Amino acid sequence: MRTRIALSLTAALAIAAAPTAAGAQRLSGERPSAGSVEEGFWTASDKAERAARTSAELNTDPALNAYVRGVACKVAVEYCGDVRVYVLDRPFFNATMAPNGYTEVWSGLMLRASNEAELAFTLSHEVTHFERNHFLEAWNAEKNRQNAMLALSVGIAVLGATAAVNSGSAEAARSIMDATGNLIDVVYLAGMTAFFRFSRENEAEADALGVRRMAAAGYDPRAAATIWTAVRDETASSQFERTRKSEGRLNVFATHPLTRDRIASLEARAASLGAGGDDGRARYRAAIRPHLSAWLRDDLRRRDYGQTLFLLNRLAVGGEDLGVLEFYRGEAFRLRRQDGDLHLAEEAYAAASAWPDAPPQAFRELGELRRKRGDVAGARVAFETYLARAPQAEDAWLVQDSLQSMGNPT
Amino acid sequence: MNAFQRIGAVVALGLTLGACATITPVPAGPMAVKNEYSVTLGRMWSDVSPILVGRSKKVRVLSIDGPFLNRLYVTEGLVPGEGLVRSTVKERPTPMIRSGMSANERMEFVADSIAAMEYQRVEASAPRPAKFGSANAIRFDIEAKTPEGLDMKGTALVAEAAGKVYVILYLAPAEHYFAATLGEVESVMASVSL
């Protein structure tokens, strides 16, 4: 987070620098001139990229990163050498490309794209922001806001340091400074939210050129509308009224209002380019399959079970990975615990258990729910299957305890 | 009031409250947790609860070297609907105790609560039978990372007795600090008198 504060400082110091090239198309391999506004962004982006390399959220699977990088290169074409992609395990729908080419793709996006073409569109959209230097336009529009943010951040830092000096112990000083850091983060985040709000014109341009870019790379342009339609529908499935009313602003900075008009526009653009092209569904599923379970578990920790259940339905459309998907459907119902949910969870675990890719835990949870319902024989079968499938499980003694507590079979 | 003024007001309020928060020493010897149970501390700790934002009211957090170098969470009995972490936004609910939780679900509750504290890659492992005073309990280990990538280790003792769930959770950086205080934490966990 210190990096983020530095980013604000660096960017603010760059205000008085050279004239900008907002909206101009950049050349591949182009670096900003010394002392320019863009150089400030590059410096800040370089720091953010260094932080990402050691982040706990960085997905270090070389195969997955190579795959996403490959898709990015396919749509970035002339900018392929400028773009560096990092997959971060964050359960929200988001991808960003910084002015220096540092690109984040979050696992929440990977989980929600149903094929390679949908991923290609989101990356094409970001490449367009990069290509057209939209950052500079956004910066020019928001720099007054940034100045205010910087002043507030400095004020907080001074107040925090004063409080720390006046504290009675090293521990207290450290804690106060940390609390102050958190407050600066709040200010920073508010500023970043404003900063990343590209104009409506920038977004429209990124959509239009993004669709064209993905189609030129051989992808089916209809995927542009299908992924945003899915995001809108997932938002409508939220169990929280405020989220449902947010009109599809699922991405963390809420910068892309998903209106019916926008989706219609994407559909029209795809139609004008002609149907067809590759959707890369099989390749895409093969790439994300090793991460499905971990990403779904992360998604459940958001505790918006309505959205998770929508997501599971979308992932299950092709009839693949049903052991894993039905298990997590059971987990969503078990954790949600609304009326009737434990029954639905039991059904889902039972459905999962019919597939060879079902995690062993599906049998353990099935046994637990059957035991609670009084189905001793059914619970026993499920628990014994769990122990047979996972004989080295660390919690085997817990399951054996449950079996013993149910008594001997008659 | 515009957005900046609102942020400024929140920040000012936070600073004011933060400045009022005090860290108090907790001497070695018996420490009562409400009137529900007691533990015995082998050395002096500091009660850092007032400066930890998002803590549930029924959770007390002790530390020796500061909250980022070692934390010992000690809870009162938690009933359904209560948790270790308090939700501040309705759309971001935090893990809560539910009635009829299995031992695996109680482990999951602790791991998910640690994730809700913004730790990453939280994993619970090595569950084993234990005692919380006279009550049967489960003991397990924790591995996690801070968002910046620092490796953390932890250990937890969780029991359910008379419809309430009790948690003692220790978290510290894996390098040096976890092992340095683990002996004291083991003694505290073994000293529970319920």
For A241-253, what is each residue's pLDDT tens digit?
A: 888 887 644 444 4
Residue of A nearest to B120 (CA): A56
Of B91, B98, B112, which has the smallest distance from its Cβ to A240's Cβ? B91
> Distance (Å) from the C-alpha of residue A348 to the closest C-alpha of chain B?
18
Amino acid A310: pLDDT: 98
Which residues in chain A touch residue B68, judged by CB atoms under 8 angstroms apart? 174, 178
pLDDT tens-digit series, residues A116-160: 999 999 999 999 999 988 887 777 776 656 565 565 555 444 444
pLDDT tens-digit series, residues A196-221: 567 778 888 999 999 999 999 999 99
Amino acid A256: pLDDT: 54
The answer to whether residue A338 neighbours chain B at the CB level (below 8 Å) is no
Using DSSP bridges, classify how beta strands A84-88 and A102-106 pair: parallel, antiparallel or unpaired.
parallel
Least confident of A68-72, A276-280, A309-313, B70-74: A276-280
pLDDT tens-digit series, residues A32-42: 888 877 788 88
Is B148's CB within 8 Å of A54's CB? yes
Q: What is the ipTM of this complex?
A: 0.88
Amino acid A147: pLDDT: 62
Q: What is the mean pLDDT of residues A100-105?
A: 94
The answer to whether residue A243 neighbours chain B at the CB level (below 8 Å) is yes
Q: Which two tokens stand for residue A176?
A: 């106060």
Residue B173: strand pairing partners? B152
How deeply is B100 buried, as exposed, middle or buried, from its count of CB atoms within 10 A (0-12, 13-18, 19+)? exposed
Is A172's CB within 8 Å of B93's CB? no
Radius of gyration of chain B measured on its C-alpha atoms: 17
Amino acid A12: pLDDT: 35
Whether residue A170 has pLDDT greater than 60: no
Distances (CA, A) of A8 to A1, A16, A88: 11, 14, 22
Q: Which two tokens stand for residue B109?
A: 């509750």
Burial letters for A113-129: b for 16+ Cβ neighbours within 10 Å, e otherwise? Answer: bbbbbbbbbbbbbbbbb
Is A51's CB within 8 Å of B3's CB? no
The answer to whether residue A180 neighbours chain B at the CB level (below 8 Å) is yes
Per cent of chain B over pLDDT 70 is 89
Amino acid A183: pLDDT: 42
Is B90's CB within 8 Å of A240's CB? yes
Three-class SS of residue B78?
Answer: strand
Alpha-carbon distance A195 to B176, whole Å?
41
Least confident of A96-100, A348-352, A373-377: A96-100
- CATH 1.25.40.10, chain A: domain bounds: 290-405
CATH of segment(s) A290-405: 1.25.40.10
Q: Which domains does chain B have, with CATH numbers?
A: 22-190 (3.40.1000.10)
Which residues in chain B touch residue A395, judged by CB atoms under 8 angstroms apart? 103-104, 127
Alpha-carbon distance A130 to B140, whole Å?
47
pLDDT tens-digit series, residues A175-202: 334 444 444 444 444 444 455 567 778 8
pLDDT tens-digit series, residues A282-295: 999 999 999 999 99
Residues 6+ apart with CB under 8 A from A3: A47, A48, A50, A51
Edge-to-edge order in the sheet of strand A84-88: A84-88, A102-106, A95-97
Is B11's CB within 8 Å of A186's CB? yes
Structural contact between residues A106 and A92, judged by C-beta atoms closer than 8 angstroms: yes
Q: Chains A and B: how many Cβ contacts under 8 Å?
A: 105
Of A57, A160, A240, which has the smallest distance from its Cβ to B147's Cβ? A57
Amino acid B81: pLDDT: 95
Degrees (nearest 5) of the Cα angle A122, A128, A133?
Answer: 135
pLDDT tens-digit series, residues A308-363: 999 999 999 999 999 999 999 999 999 999 999 999 999 999 999 999 999 999 99
Per cent of chain B over pLDDT 90 is 80
Q: What is the mean pLDDT of residues B34-58?
A: 94
